[in-house]
Amino acid sequence: MEKQASVELENAFSNKPIPLKDRKSWIGIAAIYFGNTAALSSFSSGGGLIANLTFWQTAVAALIATALLLLIFFIPMGYIGAREGVNTYVIGEAAFGKKGSKLATAFVITIIPCVGWYGVQVSIAATALDQAIGGNTNLLPLFMIVLGLLFAVPAMFGVLSMSWLDYISIPAILVITVLGVVKVLNIAGIDGVFSYVPTDSQSILWGINIMVGSLVVGASFAPDYTRWSKNKLSNVTYSGLAGIAPPLIVLTIIGSMMALTATTLGVDQAWNISEVLSVLGLPAIALLFVILLQWTTNITAAYSAGLALTNVFGWSRFWWTLIAAALGTALSLFGIIDHFLGFLGLLATFVSPATGVIISEYFFVSKMKLQTRKGVYWPGIAAWLIGGAAAYFIPFFIPAINGVIIAAIVYYVYHIAVGNTAKVGQTKSM
């Protein structure tokens, strides 16, 4: 009965503001993001960075990127969600139009990235299960299918049924962290970690961009979750500080330590945390914990993708969540994990400008009033494309930040030029 009530509540407010009486504490939102961030994806990001950065460069990149993710993406987007009580897709209608939001918000910010992340996480979890039972690679595709479908079940029953799994994940991540650090100190030693030099080097700015790409999607679709929170900026800030900053910074740094040690033992893909843990000699129980942690992350990805698909096509969020999970599972079967760093780079390039347009529309053009547009709003689409091109082609600074700033400025300058700030034509107020 409780799960049925959760599904009914989710379906009732898929496209409507959450009433204040149904809002929850910021602690629950922080727990969801802690479970999402305290996942092996953070270890994988550390492994990706260590392929081209020293340990100290990785640590600096993690700190700066976390601050940027909170200040530029999570807090502004989360505050919009808390104020208006609606999801990312509905918010995107103000910047891109009702039809335009299907492309820029639903597909670019949510559906495509979440389905892609789902495939990455399923690949890591399936590899962990395979390694735990002896490394029979013939079973790997079967494990991907089974885990890919299993991971979607809690998300199909809605956000209110997700927190219990996030609470369970915290002891699991602590076990892997402690065991991993012990193995690193025994194999490489602290001097080996501090003196590590990669074969191929990149700048810290490259590392920051990869880190931003690793969580830009989760930070950008913050309204999907903060809409359930009390409409205060402090609540959103607390959720981000408690739910994102600690696990992202700590696990990225520890992940880099484990990955650089594993590379000395023959691991080629330092971002595949399952291979890293196996080579380091962690017990099978640690690899089984990997599966649990990937489950917490994929709940968020499947839920947001299902919610966005529901907003685009209608029908049932329950079944769209399952379809999104099936698509992500198919990507894992086709080897998306082999293109992990390229995947993060694309997310940083094309998701961040869409977020910049939304933030510019809400805070600067419409003066914190959500006014949705009909059809396709081409100035928003154009600003997003210009920001994406800037992120892709401008060779200096941080591409993701270049994209979000330039897209926001282009959108705002256009409305200044046409004299259309705080008054939007062909709109309807929420």
Collapsing DSSP states into helix, strand and coil, what is residue 117? Answer: helix
Is the pLDDT confidence value at 238 over 90?
yes
Is the pLDDT confidence value at 64 over 90?
yes
Spatial distance between the Cα atoms of 127 and 390, rounded to a whole number of angstroms:
37
Spatial distance between the Cα atoms of 42 and 214, rounded to a whole number of angstroms:
8
Q: Which residue has the higher pLDDT, 384 or 265?
A: 384
Is the pLDDT confidence value at 423 over 90?
no
Span 402-416, average pLDDT: 95
- Pick the closest to residue 37 from 285, 282, 214, 225 (CA basis): 214
Is the pTM here over 0.85, yes or no?
A: no
Place of tokens 């994806």: 41
Element (H, E) at 429: strand 427-429
pLDDT of residue 160: 46
Residues 6+ apart with CB under 8 A from 271: 44, 45, 47, 48, 51, 259, 340, 341
pLDDT of residue 430: 41
HEC per residue, 365-411:
HCCCCCEEECCCCHHHHHHHHHHHHHHHHCCCCCHHHHHHHHHHHHH
Whether domain 2-84+111-338 has CATH 3.20.20.60: no
HEC per residue, 2-34:
HHHHHHHHHHHCCCCCCCHHHCECHHHHHHHHH
pLDDT of residue 20: 82
Span 363-375, average pLDDT: 91
Looking at the DSSP bridge assignments, the partners of residue 372 are 428
- Pick the closest to residue 414 from 389, 378, 388, 390 (CA basis): 378
Question: What angle is formed at CA 237 by the lines to CA 403 and CA 44, rounded to 5 degrees?
Answer: 60
Span 179-191, average pLDDT: 92
Residues 6+ apart with CB under 8 A from 190: none
Is the pLDDT confidence value at 429 over 60?
no
pLDDT of residue 328: 94
Q: Which residue has the higher pLDDT, 181 or 162?
A: 181
Is the pLDDT confidence value at 234 over 50?
yes
Structural domain spans, the chain: 2-84+111-338
pLDDT digits 0-9 by tens, 80-117: 999 999 988 889 999 999 889 887 877 887 788 889 98
pLDDT of residue 427: 46
Span 354-370, average pLDDT: 94
pLDDT digits 0-9 by tens, 303-340: 888 888 887 888 888 899 999 999 999 999 998 888 88
Looking at the chain, the number of H-run helices and the number of E-run strands are 22, 2
pLDDT of residue 425: 45
pLDDT band for position 248 (50/70/90)? very high
Nearest-10 crossing angle of helices 204-220, 55-68: 40
